[in-house]
Amino acid sequence: MTAAFNSSRVGVLFGGLSSEREVSLRSGVAVYEALERQGLHARLVDTGTENWHEQITDIDRAIVMLHGRGGEDGSIQGYLDTIGMPYTGSGVAACALAMDKIRSKIVFEHSGVPTPSFCVVRSVDDLSDFMVGEDYPVIIKPSREGSTIGITKVCSADELETAFEHALKYDSDVLVEHFVEGDELTVAILDGIALPVVRIVAPNNNYDYEAKYHSSDTKYFCPSGLEESVDVKVQEMAIRAFRSLDCSGWGRVDILLDKNHQPWVLEVNTVPGMTDHSLVPLAARAAGLSFDELVLKILLTTDVA
């Protein structure tokens, strides 16, 4: 498979200026090293630097390893479209929609993709209105962040205002979401195929930034340990969600599975992490793909229309 790219010059776009810069730096380096191991001509390009545009003038295609705003929200994809450079993953509209949790959930609802009930909140009064008839806990989060940044699990009324103010630090659009008690799952999508389901067990059932990237106590199960029929149902739901936003190439769909084995889609990630704690490489290994093979398959998505 490397023969098709032996003469290609590949730019790994990473870093950026979002709140997920640290994760992006690690993802980009891991992908760059995988390309180098396979003899491909690769270059790291940090889009958080002033002259990054000049660094891509002589590359043939780009692997986008930018997480969060400026890289996962369609803006970098729009620039690459403008200069006619092929790139990995979803296009402008799909990236922008997937990054916006409020609008992607609206699409899910209209597409028949189950997603937890929610409300857009602009004040503590809005929160109080949503909580009429709603049981604790609930989830409060910014609409356009990733890596669980700005998210709070709220267990009582006296925590609402603090959680709302915390989310507002990251986005003017904030949502409060019904909390689904159950298994936390994620499904990687690679070129239209759902990879094996990953089940996540975090300390105190709280899969936050610390649990995701730094904790050694977070457990990942792939195979998931669920019944095969449940795995298949979850994978099918992941593909439905991915397609409903018109995503392409590769990505990851985060899902909660309630006690009745009903999957509820939380969000679609169009540029998932590729660090040593990341879930797409874990799922790929369970499917028989090494990290290097996974990177090449992602690179091949630059040729998908």
- The active-site residue out of 16, 18, 19, 20 is 20
- The active-site residue out of 19, 27, 244, 269 is 269
- Give the predicted TM-score (pTM) of the model: 0.92
Do 14 and 47 contact (CB within 8 A), yes or no? yes
Task: Choose among 65, 43, 57, 66: nearest CA to 85.
Answer: 57
| pLDDT value at residue 75 | 95
27: annotated active-site residue: no
Please give, one letter per residue, the 3-state secondary structure of 250-297.
EEEEEEEEECCCCEEEEEEECCCCCCCCCHHHHHHHHCCCCHHHHHHH
Distance CA 109, CA 173 (A): 19
254: annotated active-site residue: yes
The mean per-residue pLDDT over the stretch 167-187 comes to 93
147: annotated active-site residue: yes
112: annotated active-site residue: no
- The active-site residue out of 147, 224, 244, 278 is 147
For the stretch 242-252, pLDDT in tens is 999 999 999 99
Put residue 89 in one of left, alpha, beta given phi > 0 → left and psi -120 to 50 → alpha.
left
- Residue 223: both structure tokens together: 């195979």
60: annotated active-site residue: no
SS3 246: coil
213: annotated active-site residue: yes
| Contacts for 69 with CB less than 8 Å, ≥ 6 apart | 18, 19, 75, 99, 144, 145
Is residue 222 predicted with pLDDT exceeding 50? yes
pLDDT band of 93, cuts 50, 70, 90: very high
Q: Domains for the chain: give ranges and CATH numbers.
A: 2-89 (3.40.50.20), 98-114+180-303 (3.30.470.20), 118-178 (3.30.1490.20)
- The active-site residue out of 104, 213, 231, 248 is 213
Q: What percent of the chain has pLDDT over 70?
A: 92
Is residue 223 predicted with pLDDT exceeding 90? yes
Lowest mean pLDDT among 47-56, 65-74, 207-216: 207-216
Is residue 304 predicted with pLDDT exceeding 50? no
